[in-house]
Each structure stands twice: as structure tokens, then as C-alpha cells.
A and B are shown apart, each in its own frame.
Chain A
Amino acid sequence: MAAVDRPVVKPRPVYLNLFAIRMPFPSVVSFLHRVSGALLFAIGIPLFLGTVQRALASPEAWAQMRATLDAPFAKIVAVVLAWAFIHHLFAGIRHLLLDAHVGVELAAARRSAALAFVLAIVLTLAIAVRLW
């Protein structure tokens, strides 16, 4: 008599080792969605609030704020945050479309992941070129 197959109780929650997994491209885009989100939270929000506050203070503070953007380090920070914002925006729109069952087939999902990724880099490069 065959033994009854019992469902194996797996420990939950499951933690995945990110360094041991070869991720398909949509996963890379999804992971970068997290990375960009974390960047926007940790650096983007305080920097945004501080910049808006300073730039509203006086014409002199405004000019000073514009001058700050001439420093290479400030430009790098601005470009990184611009990438984070744009990538997060496009990858987010992609998620919303997937939620609406638009482009859920594998090929389409891979295409849209690549599109969000490439579009973000192209627009970020355009901003970088304008800054320099």
C-alpha cells in the first residue's frame, strides 16, 4: 500500500539568497526598482526638501543653489537621483500596467522590462549631458 504523500511543511517566511540566484532581466529591473526606491527615500527626500527650502529663501539663495550644481560631486548626485527617479517611475508604470493585465506574457514582460531600463538610462544620459 502506497504511503500517503503529506505536504511538506516549509519554513516561512522564505528568505532568498540574492547572491546565489541568476536573475532573469525583468527581475533585474524589479530589483533596481527597489534600489532606486531606497535611494530616493534615503537621499532623495531630505535633499529635495532642503533644496526647495533653500531655493525659496531669497534670490541670493536661489543663485547659490544654482551655483552648487556646478560642482562635479553635486552633478553626480543629481544624475544618480535623476536615474533613480526615472527608473522608479518607468518600472512603476510597468507594474501598474501588469496589474491591469497589460503585457503579462513572458515575451511582452521582457520587452517592457528592457524598455523601462533603457528609457531610464537614455533620459538620465540626456540630463547628464545638459548638466555638463
Chain B
Amino acid sequence: MTQNRIVVGAHYGWRDWLVQRVTAVMMVAYTLLILGLLLWFGGLDFASWKATFGNEAFRIATFVFMVALFWHAWVGVRNILMDYVKPVMVRLALQVLVIGALVGYAGWTIQVLWGGR
């Protein structure tokens, strides 16, 4: 009988742990890039802002950052939900909402980066 089956733990804990750290390092690298650009331009106006996003390499770097952010957010929010939301159906419903939001954000990111041209 499996009525008391616990719906957590499928040996992906270790992978999530690694994902969380790899994506974190990627986001730190992008943050340093942004800080560097801000120092380079000495502040931010529309022209430099627009020119920065006109650069294909910067758009790709931004997309990589955002994907890392979404994956990182998924692991983190899922951990929070697993810890504090006890009813399984409520937790699953919230997790589906979070996944839906993050997939939507990914589409939105592509639109922001490449949709305006």
C-alpha cells in the first residue's frame, strides 16, 4: 500500500543543490558585468542604455542570466513551498503556478530582448 507515500525526494536533491550554486555563480558574473558597464559609462542615460541592449553579445548574456535566474528561482521557491506548505494538493497547485509564471517570464524575456526589432 502506498497511501502514506511521501511525495518528496527522488534523489534530485543533489542535482538541485549543484544547479543552485552554478546558477548563482553565473548571476554573480552578470552582476559584475553590469557594475562594470555602469562604471564604464559613468552612470546611465537612454543612449548608452539603448546601445548596450543593441549589442547581440549583451542580449545573449542577459538571456543566459535570466534563464539562470528562473532556474535558481524554481529551486528556491520549491524548497520554500516544500518546507512551509503541508497539504500536498495545495503545494502542487502552487508549484504549477510558479512553473507557469517562470515559463511565462522566459517568453517575456525573449520578447523584451529580441521582440522590438
CA distance A89 to B34 in the complex (A): 14
Q: Is B42 an interface residue (CB 8 A)?
A: no
Question: Complex: how many Å from CA A15 to CA B82?
Answer: 10
Q: A78 to B98: give the CA distance in the assembly, Å.
A: 23
**B8: interface (CB < 8 Å):** yes
B49, B69, B112 pick with most chain A CB within 10 angstroms: B112
Q: How far is the CA of A12 from the CA of B31 in the complex (A)?
A: 39
Q: Chain B: interface secondary structure?
A: helix
Q: Known contacts A12-B6, A15-B83, A45-B105; decide if A56 and B50 are in contact (CB<8 Å).
A: yes
Contact across chains for B112 and A56 when beta carbons are under 8 A apart: yes
User: Contact: B116 with A56, CB < 8 Å?
Assistant: yes
Does A38 reach chain B (CB closer than 8 Å)?
Answer: yes
* A24 interface hit (Cβ, 8 Å): no
A46 touches B105 (CB 8 A): yes
Q: Does B19 contact A (CB under 8 A)?
A: no
CB <8 Å contact, A13 and B8: yes
Chain A residues positioned under 8 Å from B109 (CB to CB): 49
Which residue of the partner chain, among A13, A52, A92, A96, contacts B112 with CB atoms under 8 Å? A52
**Complex: how many Å from CA A52 to CA B69?**
16
Provide the bound-state CA to CA distance between A56 and B50, in Å. Answer: 6
Closest 8 CB pairs of A and B: A62-B46, A53-B112, A41-B73, A37-B76, A59-B46, A49-B108, A92-B24, A41-B77
- A selection of 15 A-B contacts at a CB cut-off of 8 Å is A12-B6, A15-B84, A34-B80, A38-B80, A41-B77, A45-B70, A49-B105, A56-B50, A56-B112, A62-B46, A62-B49, A93-B28, A96-B21, A96-B24, A99-B21
